[in-house]
Amino acid sequence: MTTDHRQGAGETPARIVPSHEVPPDATLVADNTAELIDVGEHHLCPGCGEPIAIRAVMDGLSLLGLAERCIAVFGIGCSTAFSNNLDVEVLQALHGRAPSVATGAARSRPGLAVFTIQGDGDLANEGLQEVLHAAARGENIVCFMLNNGVFGETGGHLTVTTTIGQRTKNTLEGRDAARHGHPMRVAELLAGIDGVGYVARGAVNNAGNVARTKRMVVEAFTAQQQGLGLSFVEILTMCPTGWFVPTTEAPAYLEETIAATHRVGVLRSALG
């Protein structure tokens, strides 16, 4: 429901185009939420990239007509709460264990598109072995990692993907390799494992990258539908709260600090 709360509403300045009514003689080209997101309202922070990434996943599912026969397995993180807003079947896994839960779901219901959504702290810190072994086994699932380089839900401390120089709650001066170790490139790690059908890394820091990420989602589910093995898509997301940057600077911060280490692109594809 849209309401005009402008002070003195009705005295709209002449240069402002009214934007509360459905315009006549016009075609809707983008709706508020994706078809599979029931409720748009959520409690994630202003400027968070995770709702944008999850919308890209939902758009991909809709496009391929998989909504009726898919199971989402969520890990633990900020994005977990958003699973309540989705119009798909959802299983909740413990920390890091989503790929193993998805393995069980996919093996018992082989006709379904089973996919996981985890953060970088969940997937890479708490349960890296789960996704690596699922990949080595060639499980026919799609794994998404929303990578912002921080444990957002538990206070914003560094993860294993935090890039050198990135600010987090316990690397306020930026991650220093000598003190905090080196970042791990998870997509590259997965791309080196036989048994994966598709590996890519997208980002949601601008409209171009969002469109690119949606194409990666579609390709990942296509590989899954063709039985090519595990598909993995890492999506770089903004966390202005955890990075201590203004929301408007977060997309550029992602580009310069995160994407410089975690390069966006398709790393491996068995699609014809």
Partner 1 sequence: MNVRIRGTVRIDTEACKGCELCIEACKPEVLEMTSTSTNTRGYRYPELLPGCTGCRACADVCPDFCFQVYRFDEPRTWSPEEGLR
**Which of 6/109 has CB closer to partner 1?**
6
Smallest gap from Cβ 130 to partner 1, in A, equals 28
**Long-range CB pairs of 164-172, under 8 A, 24+ apart, other chains included:** 164/261, 165/257, 166/243, 166/257, 166/258, 167/243, 167/244, 167/245, 168/242, 168/243, 169/242, 172/244
Minimum separation from the CB atom of position 3 to partner 1 (A) = 6
**β partners of residue 151:** 157
**CB 259 to partner 1: min, Å:** 16
Q: Which is nearer to partner 1, 56 or 187 (CB)?
A: 56
CB of 239 to partner 1, least distance (A): 11
Smaller CB separation from partner 1, 178 or 207: 207
Comparing CB distances to partner 1, the nearer of 51 and 229 is 51
CA-to-CA dists, residue 83 to 54, 121, 131, 135, 170, angstroms = 9, 18, 20, 24, 29
27-36, long-range: CB < 8 A, 24+ apart? 34/58, 34/59, 34/62, 35/59, 35/62, 35/67, 35/87, 36/61, 36/62, 36/67, 36/86, 36/87, 36/88
> Kindly report the CA angle at 211 between 260 and 128, in degrees rounded to 5?
55
In total, the chain counts a number of residues equal to 272
First-to-last C-alpha distance (Å) of the chain:
45
Backbone angles phi, psi at 168, to 5 degrees: -140, 180
Q: For residue 236, give the DSSP letter.
A: E
C-beta of 50 vs 126, nearer to partner 1 = 50
Reduce the secondary structure of 100-128 to three states and give it as a string: HHHHHHHHHCCCCEEEEEEEHHHHHHHCH
For partner 1, which is the closer residue by CB, 212 or 268?
212
Considering the complex, what minimum distance in angstroms separates the CB of residue 219 from partner 1? 19
With respect to partner 1, which residue has the nearer C-beta, 211 or 260? 211
Instruction: Please report how close the Cβ of residue 7 comes to partner 1 at its closest, in angstroms.
Output: 5
Give the nearer residue to partner 1 in terms of CB position, either 1 or 172: 1
Report, in Å, the least distance between residue 197 CB and partner 1. Answer: 27
Residues 35 and 270: their CA atoms lie apart, in Å, by 29
For partner 1, the binding residues (CB under 8 A) are 1-7, 14-17, 19-23, 25-33, 37, 40-42, 44-52, 55, 204, 206-207, 210-211, 240, 247-248, 251
For residue 208, the minimal CB distance to partner 1 (Å) is 9
